[in-house]
Structure 1
Amino acid sequence: MSGRDTVLRDIRSALADVPGAEAPDDDPVPHDPRSQQAGLDVVELFIERAADYRATVVRVPPSDAVAAVGRALARTGARSVVLPPGFPDDLVPEGPWSRLEDVLPLTVRQLDAADAVLTTVAAAIALTGTVVLDSGPGQGRRALTLLPDQHVCVVRASQITADVPEVLNLLHPRRPLTLISGPSATSDIELERVEGVHGPRTLDIVVIADE
């Protein structure tokens, strides 16, 4: 018996007690992600899970947000920072770094030479410690978060959802989505962890608490 025959046999066996006239939508599976995650402190859970993925996460009041972004850039010694269109001016800190605005747009060589990029997010997922970008205002095109060595990501507490089903209900299905859980990492043939191969080596997340 071929592999195809085996798969078809198992499918027929699984469907043996299903009435022939029944359609897939006749028996919907109820799913209310908010009720399943009721009682969760999604902000604290997000911070915990993102830190598990080796992201550096801080939670600050709105009055300290721009200073927190500045501290993240100073910690790595950034000298040049990429700013996507629509990134809030009041969250861009003063410092020894030059600002590269992606309005031409910047070339691959310019992005690769930049030390850091600042972005906002479309949403974040608490259970997986993931930030979600959809190329909206303040997030920019995907290349911006792949080439600079540091990604500083600003997340507002109100943007943090409990889980993946909940966040998918908020996102536009036709926008290009980038889901980021920690800094870029992979393993070589000896299972040694290597960071920064497929994206930024450092991920800093500044969570702005609700007022």
Structure 2
Amino acid sequence: MNARAEILSRIRHAIGDTPASPPVPRDYHRDAVTGPGDVELFAHTVDDYRAQVHRADESTVAEIVTGLIAEGARAVVPPDLPQSWRPRGDVVVDGAPTALTTLELDALDVVVTGCTLGIAATGTIVLDGGPGQGRRALTLVPDHHICIVRTDQIVDTVPQAFQTLDPAKPLTFISGPSATSDIELNRVEGVHGPRVLDVVIVR
């Protein structure tokens, strides 16, 4: 018996009497998406993640978004963000005519986007590069992200979200401002993305 066979034989002997692994419970919520999720729960859980929540209707989105941008700050938007959602003032359109470089994005203060859905149970916003969302770098480089979520985009649970999402798309899950902690639990924001997140919920 060569060395490899002997090692494998010892392993088989050692684990021969090991009991089978217990079954993994699969009893989490699997309710189908039947309509808009719990908007108030979504607002509450988003707030728990240190993001700021704002309410609007279609006619007031641009006004509220403009008010969230500091005086003198420069904003960037994806090319297909609805005109009625765009802030007033100095606004740069990514991809018009070419995509901004990372250095150009870093020189901008705020990005305004839509999303593909929000998850009420976790306060999570999901982007997939679809209409009004732009490319992934757009929401990772500027220091302030204003994300617009329509109430009909909110689902209740993570399983419901995955019923809706397309896994072939570039999914980005956002739960509050970018943050991390070291071994002593000192929180640092802005390491992996924006330090400031404003969520505008549109009725």
Query: Normalized against structure 1, the TM-score is what?
Result: 0.80
Distance in structure 2 (CA, Å) of the matches to 1:152 and 1:158: 18
Q: Which runs of 5+ in 1 are unaligned?
A: 16-27
Distance in structure 1 (CA, Å) of the matches to 2:32 and 2:61: 28
Deviation at 1:138, TM superposition (A): 0.9
Is the Cα–Cα contact under 8 Å of residues 79 and 98 in structure 1 kept in the other structure?
no
User: Given the superposition, is the C-alpha separation of residues 70 and 7 from structure 1 closer, same or farther in structure 2, using an over 3 Å criterion?
Assistant: farther
Match of 2:38 among 39, 42, 51: 42
Does 2:12 correspond to 1:10?
no
Q: Which residue of 2 aligns with 1:33?
A: 31
Q: Which residue of 2 aligns with 1:79?
A: 73
Is the Cα–Cα contact under 8 Å of residues 37 and 152 in structure 2 kept in the other structure?
no
Q: Which residue of 2 aligns with 1:63?
A: 59
| Runs of 4+ in structure 1 over 6 Å off | none
Does 2:146 correspond to 1:148?
no
Distance in structure 2 (CA, Å) of the matches to 1:92 and 1:124: 20
Deviation at 1:188, TM superposition (A): 2.8
Q: Which residue of 2 aligns with 1:201?
A: 195
Q: Which residue of 1 aligns with 2:84?
A: 90
User: Given the superposition, is the C-alpha separation of residues 110 and 48 from structure 1 closer, same or farther in structure 2, using an over 3 Å criterion?
Assistant: same
RMSD of aligned C-alpha atoms?
3.0
Q: Which residue of 2 aligns with 1:101?
A: 94
Distance in structure 1 (CA, Å) of the matches to 2:57 and 2:91: 26
Q: Which runs of 5+ in 2 are unaligned?
A: 1-9
User: Given the superposition, is the C-alpha separation of residues 6 and 69 from structure 1 closer, same or farther in structure 2, using an over 3 Å criterion?
Assistant: farther
SS in 1 for 2:69: helix
Distance in structure 2 (CA, Å) of the matches to 1:30 and 1:48: 22
Distance in structure 2 (CA, Å) of the matches to 1:7 and 1:144: 54
Q: Which residue of 1 aligns with 2:4?
A: none
Distance in structure 2 (CA, Å) of the matches to 1:99 and 1:192: 35
Deviation at 1:14, TM superposition (A): 4.3
Distance in structure 1 (CA, Å) of the matches to 2:83 and 2:128: 20
SS in 2 for 1:117: strand
Deviation at 1:90, TM superposition (A): 1.1
SS in 1 for 2:44: helix
- Look up the equivalent residue of 1:170 and give its one-letter code: T
SS in 1 for 2:59: helix
When the two structures are aligned, how many residues end up with a matched partner? 191
User: Given the superposition, is the C-alpha separation of residues 29 and 7 from structure 1 closer, same or farther in structure 2, using an over 3 Å criterion?
Assistant: farther
Distance in structure 1 (CA, Å) of the matches to 2:126 and 2:110: 18
